[in-house]
Chain A
Amino acid sequence: MISLCKTIFSLALLGAVVSSELKAQQLTPDATLKSGYGYLLLAVESLGTPPKKILLKGPKVFSSLSIDKLQAGNNYRLLAVPAGRYYYSQVYSDEEKNSAYWEILNFDYYIDVQENRTSYAGHLISEMYSDQHTDFNFRNRSSQAFKHIQDCCQLISKKYPLIFTGSYPDPFLDLLVESPEDR
Chain B
Amino acid sequence: MKNIFAVFLLCLCVVAHASEQKKLSVSHKHAQEFFQNPQYSSPKIDPSGRRVSFFEHDKNGDKKLSLLDLDSNNMQVVYIDKLDRVKSYDWIDQDTMVLTVRYQEHSQSLYKFDFIYSDGLLKEVKQKLILDNAYLLDPLSNLQDKIAIAYYSVGERYPNIYKIDLSAKNTSSQLGGKKKLNRLAPDADSWLFNSNGQLKVMQAIKEGKNIVWYKEPKKGRWVEIWNKTKDTRFKPVLFLEDKNQLLVLNNHDKNFIELTKFNLADKTFGETVFKVEGRDIDNVVRNQQRDNILYASYTENGIVRQKYFTDLGSFIKKHLNKNLNARDFWVVDKSIDNSTVLALKTNSRQAGVYYLFESDRVQLSILTETKPWMSKFQLGKSERITSTSSDGLEIESFLTLPANSKESKPPLIVVPHGGPVNVRSSREFNMQTQYLASLGYAVLHPNYRGSAGYGKEFKEAAKQQWGKLIEDDIDSATQAVIDSNLVDANRICIYGASYGGYSALISAIRRPDIYKCAASYVGVTDINLMLENDFRSLGEGNLQWIKTYYGDHRKQQADLLQRSPVYLAKQLKQPVFLAHSLRDDVVDIEHYYRMKSELAKAGNPATTLFLEKEEHGFKYLESYEQLYSSLDAFFRKSLELPQPTVLRK
Q: CB within 8 Å of B: which residues of A?
A: 47, 122, 129-130, 132-133, 137-144, 166-172, 175-176, 179-180, 183
Contact = CB atoms under 8 A, between A and B. Distances in A.
B593 A141 contact: yes
A140 B593 CA distance: 12
Interface stretch (B83-91, B99-107, B213-221, B636-644): B99-107
A179 to B, nearest CB: 8
B422 interface: no
Given A130-B104, A141-B588, A172 B594 contact: yes
A173 to B, nearest CB: 10
A149 to B, nearest CB: 14
Nearest to A172: B594
Interface of B: 104-107, 526, 528-529, 532-533, 536-537, 553-554, 557, 561, 566-567, 570, 583, 585, 588-590, 593-594, 597-598, 601-603
A162 to B, nearest CB: 14
Which 10 residue pairs spanning A and B have beta carbons closest together?
A: A143-B593, A168-B532, A141-B590, A140-B533, A143-B594, A139-B588, A133-B106, A133-B104, A132-B107, A143-B597
B593 A172 contact: no
A140 B104 contact: no
B528 A170 contact: yes
Interface of B is mostly: helix
Contacts of A133: 104-107
A132 B106 contact: yes
Nearest to B595: A143
B104 A170 contact: no
Contacts of B104: 129-130, 132-133
A170 B106 contact: no
Contacts of A137: 536-537, 585
A177 to B, nearest CB: 10
Contacts of B526: 172
Contacts of A170: 528-529, 532
A167 B588 CA distance: 18
Given A140-B529, A141-B593, A176-B597, 7 more contacts: A129-B105, A137-B536, A139-B590, A140-B533, A140-B590, A167-B532, A180-B602
Contacts of B597: 143, 176
A23 B166 CA distance: 56
A143 B595 CA distance: 10
A175 B532 contact: no
A139 B587 CA distance: 11
A144 B593 contact: yes
B257 to A, nearest CB: 35
Given A130-B104, A172-B526, A172-B566, A143 B601 contact: no
Of A132, A142, A144, most B-chain CB atoms within 10 Å:
A132
17 contacts: A133-B104, A133-B107, A137-B536, A137-B537, A138-B536, A139-B533, A139-B590, A140-B532, A140-B533, A140-B590, A143-B594, A143-B597, A170-B528, A172-B526, A175-B566, A175-B567, A176-B598
Contacts of A172: 526, 529, 566, 594
A171 B561 contact: yes
Contact of A183 (B533, B536, B570, B588): B570
Contacts of A175: 566-567, 598
Contact of B590 (A129, A142, A167): A142
Nearest to B537: A137
A170 B594 CA distance: 12
A180 B570 contact: yes
A40 to B, nearest CB: 20
A47 B582 CA distance: 11
Given A132-B104, A176-B597, A144 B590 contact: yes
Given A132-B104, A137-B537, A141-B589, A169 B594 contact: no
Contacts of B553: 168
B64 to A, nearest CB: 28
A122 to B, nearest CB: 8
A167 B589 CA distance: 20
Of B105, B536, B553, most A-chain CB atoms within 10 Å:
B536
B597 to A, nearest CB: 5
A180 B561 contact: no
A80 to B, nearest CB: 26
B557 A169 contact: yes
A166 B529 CA distance: 12
Contacts of A144: 590, 593
A132 B157 CA distance: 12
A133 B593 CA distance: 27
Contacts of B561: 171
Contacts of B585: 137
A130 B106 CA distance: 10
Nearest to A107: B537
Nearest to A122: B533
B529 A180 contact: no
B593 to A, nearest CB: 4
Nearest to B558: A171
A180 B603 contact: yes
Of B529, B567, B603, most A-chain CB atoms within 10 Å:
B529
Given A132-B107, A169-B557, A180 B601 contact: yes
Of A137, A139, A166, most B-chain CB atoms within 10 Å:
A139
Nearest to A183: B570
